[in-house]
Amino acid sequence: MPRLAAMTTAQRAILPGVSEGRARQLLAGALVADGAMDLFGVRELDICPWALREGVILRRLDQMEGVS
């Protein structure tokens, strides 16, 4: 987090997987993720390339698979 906080938005935008449009939000997201991890006692997590909405859609499609 200190590294992200020290970076400008332009510097964050060139990080792998960070779009220019999301670079401004990156530090805030990292703070929320860190707080949630602390609250729930999570020491580490796996980063997924899918966003939350895609995960919700994929889960719903999996549930619909068995429905006729």
Domain residue ranges of the chain, discontinuous segments joined by +: 2-64
Give the pLDDT score at 2: 93
Q: For residue 18, give every residue at least 6 positions away whose Cβ sits within 8 Å of its Cβ, in sequence order, or none.
A: 12, 26
Segment 4-55, tens digit of pLDDT:
999 999 999 999 989 899 899 999 999 999 999 999 999 998 877 777 788 8
Higher pLDDT: 2 or 66? It is 2
Give the pLDDT score at 42: 95
> Which pTM was predicted?
0.66
26, 18 contact by CB (below 8 A): yes
Give the pLDDT score at 67: 66
Higher pLDDT: 3 or 53? It is 3
